[in-house]
Amino acid sequence: MERPTSAAGPELEPDHIRTVLCDLDGVVWLAHVPIPGAVDAVAALRASGRRVIFVTNNSAARIAEHEAALAAIGIEAVGDVVTSSQAAASLLQPGERVLVTGGAGVAEAVEQAGAVAIINDGETTLAPIDAVVVGLHRDFDYPRLAAASAALHGGARLIATNDDATYPTPRGPEPGGGSIVAAVAVAGEAEPVVAGKPHAPIAELIASLLAGGAGGFDPATVVVVGDRPETDGLFAQTLGCPFALVRSGVLAPGVPSPDDLPVALDSVDLAAIAEHLTQRSPSG
C-alpha cells in the first residue's frame, strides 16, 4: 500500500536517504511489545548504510531506559534515542529552578541542561520557580495539579514535553502527556510552549544533531517514519523532509489520513517501509 506524495510535500527518493527518524510507540512496538517485523526492519535499514534514530514523544523514561528496552527486543540504540524531554530541556537556562511534573526522563533532561529539577510531589512549594515542565506522569493528581498551578500563577512559564492526547497500546489508546498538559494549562491560566513532535524545539534538536557534515543539515537525506500524521507528519513538515506513514499504531489500515498532510509513502508497517528503502543503498 503505497501512495506518492502530493505536490505540497517533498518526494521520497530512497537512494538519497541516509537517516531514518523512527517513532517508537506504534512503529517499533506497542507498550514495549515489538510489532512483527520491526526489529528485522531496523537491522535491514542499518545494513543498507543508513542511520536509524529513534525520536519519541515518550518523556517518562530516562534515555538509558529507552536504550535498554530497545536492546531487550534486539535493537542496539546507544546514542540513537532523542526524546521530547530533551527537547523541553533545550528551552531551559542553566541554573533555572524547574518544577518537574513528569517522569524520571524529564528530571534527567532538566538536570543535564544544568537546571535545578524540583520534583512535583504535590506538597513541596519552593519559590521561586522559573519554569514548570509537564510530561506524562502516572502519579499525577489534584495536589500536583495545584502545585503546578501555583507556580504558574507565580510567574513561571509552562513547557510541555508534548501535547499528544493519547498514545497507542495493545489494549487501545490511553491518555497521553497532552491530557495532563491541558489540565495544568487550564488551572494555571498559561499557554504552554510545546517542545516535542511536531514542534520546532525537537526539530531544531534533530537538525543540530545531523548537521555535523560539511554541508550541514540536509532534509532531502532524511525521512520521518511514524504512525500519527498530525504528529509525525507535521514533524516531517517542520524539518522539510518526506514522511512515511505506517498503519501499525493509531491509524488503522484503510482509514484516510488528513488531506492537508502530505504522505510520501503509506505502508502497513516499518517492515514495508524498510523494504521500499533498501531496494537501493544511499547515494554519496
Q: List, for residues 203-234, the tens digit of each pLDDT value.
A: 999 999 999 765 689 999 999 999 999 999 99
Is the per-residue pLDDT at 135 higher than 70? yes
Q: List, for residues 266-283, the tens digit of each pLDDT value.
A: 999 999 999 999 986 776
* Residue 11 confidence (pLDDT): 83
Find out if CATH 3.30.565.10 is the number for domain 14-57+198-277: no
Q: 125, exposed or middle or buried, with CB in 10 Å at 0-12, 13-18, 19+?
A: middle
CATH 3.40.50.1000 residue window(s) in the chain? 14-57+198-277, 86-194
Is the per-residue pLDDT at 163 higher than 90? yes
Selected residue with higher pLDDT from 171 and 160: 160
Global pTM value: 0.90
Q: If you ran DSSP here, which 8-state letter would residue 162 be given? A: -
- 86-194 architecture in CATH? 3-Layer(aba) Sandwich (3.40)
* Residue 6 confidence (pLDDT): 39
**Measured distance CA(117)–CA(137) in Å, rounded:** 15
Is the per-residue pLDDT at 173 higher than 90? no
